[in-house]
A and B are shown apart, each in its own frame.
Chain A
């Protein structure tokens, strides 16, 4: 291709001072796939999505979940989503922004949900992840604990677990840990 390079290099030298247009943004394949996921979202009434950076930044968004069943009925839990440019090759990064007393969510907001890590597959999408998060609240699971104390209580004394959840959501202490109100 050297002849071509030669022609182009000569043209470039001639056009040295030609002004370029405004910088253009190239969308990665990951952004395009995410665009598809978002435009096809079909969320239950208990879940809402927000885009804090406006309509053109889909890579960072928030989802709030208001469980309509189970221990966490009445609470509102906010999750942040961060999607990588190589999505869906890599799962979105999800953090729980609301401090919650939950066996599968630790106090730093890390979430233990299989489809976010070991079971992530590119055929999954944002809708599946949001449903997965929703299920964590209707069916908390003591077998995959991130918050060990909460998991032990759920396993050994579900009544006490229920009252701990109520106390935490109303804004109060469970053991040494304070939970801000989220009802």
Chain B
């Protein structure tokens, strides 16, 4: 189709020609363009203001295999910026309508929608994608996807990340006229958890101020939410998108505290994210290193900061590798941790895949886990040839005692399936 060739005209300038900023493995040519279409599979997390933009931009940048996941349905208040949705779509799942609209407008693109919570999908679902693009507005959701993506990361016995296990993420976020775009290559650039301090803790007003002397409209809103609502509607959760609920809050004399979502901010941040996605996949240029901020409230200001990894990050770091015999008991393992030169860890409490193998305190948990001490660690860990456990306890450095939390890559000797690659995952 003539239509298709004209559509890739701009893309061809990046993919068919050599350049100075290209990656070492970049091989320009039509094969690269075709491979991007055939083999790059991108998941868009979130189909809200930013998600709609990401989906459209990815589809227009030559990506043909897309999936989108979002648990929300379309609300009237979304229509001003979530441009894929129409009035008659109100009440329908965002992911489904967004996928349908983009496929209608851009021929040849396949978009599979998933109308569910991100936690509802098996972990392996996320491993199927080449790149994950995040268009989310919550720290919780970002932190979850980050944990999952980092869990695929494996380190070799020299603690270097194995490239084929790196699940790249491109994360966008907007709030009013401000936004950010970042590239997360687990094991190489800082993960979300390495830099969680970037997100200021949410402002929470004292409850008594809200009840006693609400001074600002923000106080009133929280008061209505947290205290008044429960007094009147005990048991029914407040839903800001339910018109009746909102009318009640309105009648109480307060309005919803929303930082207005600005369509142009979404468009700019999405463009940055999709360009990075294209760069990661094709290596047609160096990627953003590694965090871009945008501020459009006074003039236009963008800046790129290079954040550093937290080498001891519990989520993306390699942890400490320990080789063990399958016969070792939990108690013996704990003794080893005390003697281990890198650890010197006493009073250990140990957790594996959400199961508490041993807890030093409180007494009620110590009692419940004490019987594990004489059992074999290999059995307690579900007979896996290798996996991550987390240990906390007390360590001694320069004659001083520290409380510490460590990630350990346990490898059992002589168990089938063990190679020199250990999983970093499981944070």
> Contacting B206 at CB < 8 Å: which of A7, A35, A86, A117?
A117
Taking a contact as CB atoms under 8 Å apart, the answer to whether B227 and A91 are in contact is: no
Cβ of A155 within 8 Å of any chain B Cβ, yes or no, is: no
Q: Given that A32-B314, A111-B207 are contacting pairs, would A4 and B354 also be in contact in the complex, using a CB cutoff of 8 Å?
A: no
CB–CB B139/A32 < 8 A: no
A59-B62 Cα distance, complex, nearest whole Å: 44
Tell me how far the C-beta of A183 lies from the nearest C-beta in chain B, rounded to whole angstroms.
23
The interface bits of chain A over 28-57 (1 if a CB of B lies within 8 angstroms of the residue's CB, else 0) are 111111011011111100000111001110
Knowing A90-B202, A120-B201, A146-B211, the reply to whether A26 touches B427 (Cβ < 8 A) is yes
The verdict on A27 contacting chain B, using a C-beta distance below 8 Å, is yes
Q: How far is the CA of A140 from the CA of B135 in the complex (A)?
A: 45
A116: min CB distance to chain B, Å: 8
Assess the B405–A32 pair: CB atoms within 8 A: yes
Report chain A residues within 8 Å CB of B196: 29, 86, 89
Contact with B along A1-43 (1 / 0, CB 8 A): 1111111110010000000100111111111110110111111
CB distance from B143 to the nearest CB of A (A): 5
Cβ of A118 < 8 Å from any Cβ of B?
Answer: yes
User: Are the C-beta atoms of B140 and A86 separated by less than 8 Å?
Assistant: yes
- Interchain CB contact under 8 A, B123 and A26: yes
The answer to whether B361 and A40 have CB atoms under 8 Å apart is yes
- A139 CB-CB contact with B under 8 Å: no
> With a CB–CB cut-off of 8 A, which chain A residues contact B110?
none
Tell whether, in the assembled complex, residue B139 and residue A42 are in contact, meaning their CB atoms are under 8 Å apart: no
* CB neighbours of A32 from chain B (8 A): 314, 351, 390, 405, 427
Q: How far is the CB of B127 from chain A (nearest CB, A)?
A: 9
Q: Interface size (B, Cβ < 8 Å)? A: 69
- Residues on B with C-beta less than 8 A from A146 are 207-208, 211
CB pair A4–B405 under 8 Å, yes or no, is no
User: Quick check: A89 and B364 within 8 Å, CB to CB?
Assistant: no
- Tell me if A91 and B204 are in contact (CB < 8 A): yes
- Of A1, A8, A33, A85, which is in contact with the most chain B CB atoms at under 10 Å from its CB? A1
**Which chain A residue shows the least CB distance to B201?**
A89
Question: Cβ of B265 < 8 Å from any Cβ of A?
Answer: no
Q: A5-B40, A43-B362 are in contact. Are A26 and B426 (CB under 8 A)?
A: yes
Query: Provided the pairs A2-B282, A6-B35, A90-B201 are in contact, do residues A28 and B147 lie with their beta carbons within 8 angstroms?
Result: yes
- Whole-angstrom CA separation of A118 from B231 in the bound complex: 23
B211 near A145 with CB under 8 A, answer yes
Given the known A-B contacts A2-B283, A6-B39, A106-B227, are A36 and B392 also in contact in the complex, defined by CB atoms under 8 Å?
Answer: yes
Asked whether A2 and B36 contact (CB < 8 A) given A29-B143, A39-B359, the answer is yes
Interface contact B148-A1, CB-CB below 8 Å: no
Q: Does B322 contact A (CB under 8 A)?
A: no
- Contact in complex: B351, A1 (CB < 8 Å): no
* A170 interfacial by beta-carbon distance below 8 Å: no
| B40 and A86 form a contact (CB under 8 A) | no
- Distance in angstroms from A20 CB to nearest chain B CB is 5
| A20 to B368 alpha-carbon distance, docked (Å) | 31
With beta carbons under 8 angstroms apart, the residue of B355, B364, B427 that contacts A51 is: B364
Q: Which residues of A contact B392 (CB under 8 A)?
A: 35-36, 39-40
From residue A84, how far is it (CB to closest CB) to chain B in Å? 7
Number of A-B residue pairs having CB atoms within 8 Å of each other in the complex: 177
In the complex, A96→B40 CA distance in Å? 51
Chain A proximity of B126: nearest CB distance (Å): 10
CB-CB under 8 A from B360, the residues of chain A are: 39-40
CB-CB under 8 A for A28 and B144, given A40-B403, A51-B364, A112-B207? yes
**Which chain B positions have C-beta within 8 A of A39?**
349, 359-361, 365, 392-393
Q: Are the C-beta atoms of A89 and B199 separated by less than 8 Å?
A: yes
B426 to chain A, nearest CB (A): 6
Asked if A175 lies at the interface with its beta carbon under 8 angstroms from chain B, I say: no
User: What B residues does A20 contact at CB under 8 A?
Assistant: 122, 124
CA distance A36 to B207 in the complex (A): 28
Contact across chains for A12 and B35 when beta carbons are under 8 A apart: no
B204-246 residues with Cβ-Cβ distance < 8 A to A are: 204-208, 211-212, 226-227, 230-231, 234
Q: Who on chain A is nearest to B143 by CB? A: A86
A19→B32 CA distance, assembly (Å): 32
Q: Contact check, B148 vs A26: say whether CB atoms are below 8 A apart.
A: yes
Collect the chain A residues with CB atoms within 8 Å of residue B164's CB.
Answer: 4, 7-8
Complexed CA–CA distance, A30 and B361 (Å): 18
- Could you give, for residues 264-286 of chain B, a 1 whenever the CB lies within 8 Å of some chain A CB and a 0 otherwise? 00000000000000001111000
> A36 vs B61: C-alpha distance in the bound complex, in angstroms?
46
Asked if B206 contacts A118 (CB within 8 A), the reply is: yes
* CA of A90 to CA of B201, assembled, Å: 7
Q: Apart from A90-B202, A117-B207, list 20 A-B contacts with CB within 8 A.
A: A1-B280, A2-B32, A2-B283, A26-B123, A27-B147, A28-B143, A29-B314, A30-B143, A32-B351, A35-B356, A38-B359, A38-B365, A39-B360, A39-B392, A106-B211, A111-B207, A117-B206, A122-B201, A144-B208, A146-B211
19 of the cross-chain contacts (CB-CB < 8 Å) are: A1-B281, A4-B164, A24-B353, A26-B123, A26-B148, A28-B143, A28-B427, A38-B359, A39-B361, A51-B364, A56-B355, A89-B199, A90-B202, A106-B227, A108-B227, A110-B226, A111-B207, A117-B205, A117-B207
Which residues on A are within 8 Å of B, measured CB to CB? 1-9, 12, 20, 23-33, 35-36, 38-43, 49-51, 54-56, 58, 84-86, 89-91, 104, 106, 108, 110-112, 114, 117-118, 120-122, 144-146, 148
What are the 10 A-B residue pairs with the smallest beta carbon separation, nearest first?
Answer: A39-B349, A144-B208, A117-B204, A25-B354, A112-B208, A5-B130, A6-B39, A36-B392, A55-B368, A112-B207
